[in-house]
Chain A
Amino acid sequence: MSDKSFKIGLTGLNAIDSPGPGVGVARCLKDADDLDIEIIGLAYETLEPGIYLHDLIKKSYQVPYPSAGTEQVFKRLSYIQSKEQLDLIIPNFDAELWNYIKLTPQLKEIGIRTFMPSLEQLDKINKLNLDEFARNNDLPSPSTKKFSSLDELEEFGREAEYPLVIKGKFYEAFIVYNIAQLAYYYNKLNAKWGLPVLVQEFVDGNEIVIAGLGDGNGNLIGAVPLRKLFITDKGKGWAGVVINDPQYLDLAEKINKLLAWKGGFEIELTRKDNGDVFLLEINPRFPAWIYTTAAAGQNMPLALVHMAMGMEQVPFQQYETGKMFVRYSWDHITDISEFQKISTLGEL
């Protein structure tokens, strides 16, 4: 029997073809030997698969989209708190972090802790600012330009060398091979995510990702690098293997120290055939494959809980190389009554 029990709210339960990290984080927390953890799901959609997985997630509540604003989000979280007495919330979506960071003092007042970076830290690794962060800190990264006008983009596109990568302000990226494709995706990404649209040099190579956890004081609590072995047409890793190369751990250490990052993060890299490594993105949350880090010996979500709840957490010193994940789709069987509950009551 564990001596401490906590109730923890998790978002990102959309375990779909572009999965959120919530289910992976839940699996990590359920592996805790030292704590008795009960998980409450916070879902945006009624069909987020995680909310139907009752072995992992005891009860779920629908919450307003981040665009509803902090007031609406807090109102709903206050109601949930009156029912559940949550100890901690771990947000797992990039787009919701702004609200949760803003709400940190209010959440604390009603008894909910968080363990997140500051808005300033978040801003530094924002897609729009990452290029500058990389240049200022001698981190090799593909050259990136921002465009807010189609004319300017086309002028650039006439002289540019292809392929290029065109990226939305928040999400999505496409490889383009000519000016027509460049203009097409500019309009598409502008319509979906707004301006500016980013155009990045294409770096061909293997995709390497590093899951990490910082304590907010510049100390790296954990870091596990993984090579993606299978990538879907949405660019999502569907299989990967834990690797061991000191340069990746050094990079995670350096980035974590520079940012004094608080919470989970994921560094995305490309390694060219000649061994050169380029920084592509830093995501301000754990990745969807986070359970692989627990399997490899670094249960980072659990370590985050320890730190958030004021318990001692020493940095992980090692992990097991060669641990793999192979993601699969599973038709989880439920009943219309479950769907009815979440659809009509906003609770399941």
Chain B
Amino acid sequence: MIKLKKNIALSESGFIFDPSTGDSYSVNQTGSEIIEYLKEGLSEDQITDKLKDTFDSDEEQLRKDLDDFLHHLRQLKMIENV
């Protein structure tokens, strides 16, 4: 299970603020949606299903792109595997 770091703030415009470090980032609409799903506690499979509803792309590609995005978030220490 993936857990988003506590207290991460996400604005409607896709601006992310990590209040424990002062780091800030910008993400696009899809990135925002994924972070919202993580906040809701959705699993990778559940997020992939959600993305399938939005994008006309095959599941393997969606999963790859999601993995890539989660890898970035992990590098930035914004998520952790529980």
- Whether A244 contacts B9 in the complex (CB less than 8 A), given A206-B22, A321-B19, A322-B19, comes out as no
**Chain B residues within an 8 Å CB radius of A167:** none
CA distance A226 to B77 in the complex (A): 19
**Chain A residues within an 8 Å CB radius of B9:** 322
User: By the criterion of a CB under 8 Å from any partner CB, how many residues of chain A are at the interface?
Assistant: 14
Nearest Cβ distance between residue B41 and chain A, in whole angstroms?
22
Question: Considering residues B7, B17, B22, which has the most beta carbons from chain A within 10 angstroms of its beta carbon?
Answer: B22
Chief secondary structure at chain A's binding surface: strand
- Nearest residue (CB) in B for A245 is B20
- Any chain B CB within 8 A of the CB of A176? no
Residues of A participating in the B interface, judged by any CB pair closer than 8 Å? 206, 208, 226-227, 229, 240-241, 243-245, 271, 275, 321-322
- Any chain A CB within 8 A of the CB of B61? no
- Any chain A CB within 8 A of the CB of B81? no
CA distance A243 to B17 in the complex (A): 10
A206 touches which of B7, B19, B21 (Cβ 8 Å): B21
Given contacts A243-B19, A322-B9, 8 further A-B contacts (CB under 8 A): A206-B21, A208-B22, A229-B22, A241-B22, A243-B21, A244-B7, A271-B21, A322-B19
**Chain A residues within an 8 Å CB radius of B7:** 244
**Chain A residues within an 8 Å CB radius of B20:** 243-245
CA distance A164 to B42 in the complex (A): 46
